[in-house]
């Protein structure tokens, strides 16, 4: 690829150094086919700072200033998302999995529900889950509902917390959600209402880190594992296994599979999608 | 007496830990150090700690996570937490506040500011 005029130069050798650094420190992997993407994003960042590749490498490696690493994360992550993404999967969650789980819980006298949206990006996914829960659980206000939403990009988390979306983000959502769960403000933007916001807790954390709670009913980790190598995927999926309660469910992106990566999950086919259920191992 | 107080310094950078520890030791404080949130949690469970100087970006368990855990726990809720970090935007402060931090200090590390805050909390 030819550098754009004005863009910083980055040799292949330098690029690979960045790739390794990112993998070792953040867990994200840029395979050969994704190297041009990484190259572009690095160039943009270096161009903005007005530094060359060696300087930039030194900067992100400097021990006591993680601030630039945070900026780097913000430019190298892909944050594409929208409300009610993977419609058939969301339908199944809402119409099959959630009612089943709620029924069991009520029978057991347990009115709490804890969900993890791992790699939540700008918030569309966890907010969608909250809306589905409000739709499905008749007296949700007497329930203890927590949707824990995590990401390692601070940029997206700040936007998630704001909860302000344009028309494109909400296009695929069932039409009545808009009336029930958003306040429309001027300039064509839609604000997630406070009842929904109250059940979602955003937190900055890297999935590669070791710390996690172990009492989740359901985990959503969709379109995130694609950024990892198999060894990292294995580690994260095993972490999810431990984080789920017995019988808990895990939703991955529509094309993401776990075979050969983790044991103990039972594959359940739903209408046009699948879900993984934690089984004893 | 400063030596009555134990300060826990949590940072994954040995350089920062050393600098902060040296300065605190000079002033007579008792100092403990941990390299990440998990280590820090162990220390808090095993020692009496009077104040925590806490970095945010750390492997295994980050500063926000540790702070939230401590503030949720009756036994540790009262320990003042001072986030010591390179981040300085309003949004970053807000995340710290959301996690329950008692005070916020931005790097580069300025010991006069640390002292001022210790004076306030201890
Ligand atoms: C393509 S978005 C997917 C958003 C949403 N789950 C969906 O399916 O619409 C991927 C998100 O994963 C986040 N991510 C990537 N690596 C991560 C990691 N190691 N820890 C936490 N989040 C990560 C990115 O910052 C990004 O916001």
State the pLDDT confidence band at A65, using cuts at 50, 70 and 90: low
Looking at per-residue pLDDT, the higher value among A188 and A96 belongs to: A96
Residue B78 lies in a domain: yes
- Per-residue pLDDT of A46-62, as tens digits, reads 999 999 999 999 999 88
Would the CB of A78 count as within 6 Å of ligand 1?
yes
Would you place residue A77 in the very low, low, confident or very high pLDDT band (cuts 50, 70, 90)?
very high
- Would you call B64 and A205 a contact, using CB atoms and an 8 Å cutoff? yes
Res A63: pLDDT: 59
Partner residue opposite A205 with nearest CB, options B16, B62, B87: B62
pLDDT at A138: 86
Chain B: residue nearest A209 by CA? B60
- Residue B56: inside a domain: yes
Query: For position A85, what pLDDT does the model report?
Result: 97
The dotted CATH code for A12-76 is: 1.10.155.10
DSSP state of B79: S
A14-40 pLDDT tens trace = 999 999 999 999 999 999 999 999 999
* Torsion (CA) A33, A39, A40, A45 in degrees, nearest 10: 150
Residue B18 has pLDDT above 70, yes or no: yes
Query: A66 vs B38: CB contact, 8 Å cut-off?
Result: no
Q: A67 to chain B nearest CA, in Å?
A: 6
Chain Cα centroid distance, residue A263: 22
Q: From residue A182, give the alpha-carbon distance in Å to each of A82, A175, A186.
A: 15, 11, 13
Residue A184: is its pLDDT beyond 90? no
The Cα A241–Cα A69 span in angstroms is: 29
pLDDT digits (tens, 9 = 90+) for A218-240: 999 999 999 999 999 999 999 99
Assign B88 a pLDDT band (cuts: 50, 70, 90). Answer: low
- Between CA A29 and CA A232 the distance in angstroms is 9
Q: Would you say residue B108 lies in a domain?
A: yes
- pLDDT of amino acid B52: 97
| Residue B122 lies inside a defined structural domain of this protein | no
Q: Where are the domains of chain A?
A: 12-76, 87-278
Interatomic CA distance for residues A199 and A236, integer angstroms: 25
Q: Number of structural domains, chain B?
A: 1
Question: Smallest Cα–Cα separation from A265: which of A255, A256, A253, A277?
Answer: A277
What pLDDT sits at residue A16? Answer: 96
Bridge partner residues of A274 (DSSP): A269
Q: Lowest mean pLDDT: which of A2-11, A77-86, A233-242, B78-87? A: A2-11
Q: Is B100 left (phi over 0), alpha (psi -120 to 50) or beta?
A: left
Q: Is the pLDDT of residue B1 over 80?
A: no
Q: Pick the residue from chain B with its C-alpha nearest to A212.
A: B61
What is the distance in angstroms between the Cα of B16 and the nearest Cα belonging to chain A?
Answer: 7
> CB–CB of B32/B8 below 8 Å?
yes
At A4 the pLDDT is 53
Strand positions, DSSP E, chain A: 112-118, 144-151, 164-165, 182-184, 190-192, 200-204, 216-221, 244-252, 265-269, 274-278
Domain that residue B62 falls in: 2-117
CATH number, domain of B53, equals: 3.40.50.2300
What are the angstrom distances between the C-alpha of A276 and each of A87, A252, B37, B63, B96?
17, 8, 31, 32, 35
Average pLDDT over residues B58-62: 89
What mean pLDDT do residues B76-102 have? 86
Please, which residues have CB within 8 angstroms of residue A257's CB and are 6 or more apart in sequence? Answer: none
Q: CATH says A87-278 is which class?
A: alpha beta
pTM assigned to the model: 0.90
For the segment A199-215, the average pLDDT, to the nearest whole number, is 92
């Amino acid at each position: 690829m030819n550098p754009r005029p004005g863009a910083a130069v980055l040799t292949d050798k330098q690029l690979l150094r960045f790739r390794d650094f990112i993998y070792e420190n953040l867990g994200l992997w840029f395979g050969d086919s994704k190297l041009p993407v990484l190259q572009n994003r690095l160039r943009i960042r270096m161009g903005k700072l007005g530094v060359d590749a060696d300087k930039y490498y030194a900067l992100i490696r400097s021990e006591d200033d993680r601030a630039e690493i945070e900026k780097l994360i913000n430019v190298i992550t892909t944050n594409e998302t929208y409300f009610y993404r993977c419609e058939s999967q969301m339908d199944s969650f809402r119409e099959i999995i959630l009612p089943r789980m709620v029924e069991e819980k009520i029978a057991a006298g347990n009115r709490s529900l804890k969900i993890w949206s791992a790699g939540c990006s700008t918030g569309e996914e966890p907010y969608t889950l909250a809306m589905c829960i409000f739709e499905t659980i008749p007296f949700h206000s007497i329930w203890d509902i927590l949707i824990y939403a995590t990401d390692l990009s601070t940029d997206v988390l700040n936007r998630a917390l704001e909860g302000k979306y344009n028309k494109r983000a909400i296009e695929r959502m069932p039409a009545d959600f808009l009336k029930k769960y958003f306040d429309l403000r001027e300039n064509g933007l839609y604000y997630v209402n406070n009842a929904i916001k109250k059940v979602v807790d955003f937190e900055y954390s890297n999935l590669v880190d070791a710390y996690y709670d172990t009492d989740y009913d359901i985990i959503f980790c969709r379109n995130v594992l694609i950024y990892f190598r198999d060894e990292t995927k294995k580690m994260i999926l095993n972490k999810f296994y431990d984080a789920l309660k017995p019988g808990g469910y895990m939703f991955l992106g529509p094309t993401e599979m776990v075979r050969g990566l983790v044991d103990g999950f039972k594959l359940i086919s739903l209408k046009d999608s699948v879900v993984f259920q934690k089984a004893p191992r | 007496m400063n030596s009555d107080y134990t300060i826990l310094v949590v940072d994954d950078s040995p350089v920062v830990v050393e600098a902060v520890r040296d300065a605190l030791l000079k002033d007579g404080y008792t100092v403990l150090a941990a390299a990440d949130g998990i280590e820090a949690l162990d220390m808090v469970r095993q020692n009496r700690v009077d104040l925590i100087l806490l970095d945010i970006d750390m492997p295994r368990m980050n500063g926000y996570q540790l702070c939230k855990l401590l503030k949720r726990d009756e036994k540790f809720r009262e320990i003042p937490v001072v986030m010591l970090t390179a981040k300085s935007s309003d949004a970053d402060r807000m995340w710290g506040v959301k996690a329950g931090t008692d005070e916020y200090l931005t790097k580069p590390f300025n010991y006069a500011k640390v002292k001022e805050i210790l004076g306030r909390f201890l």
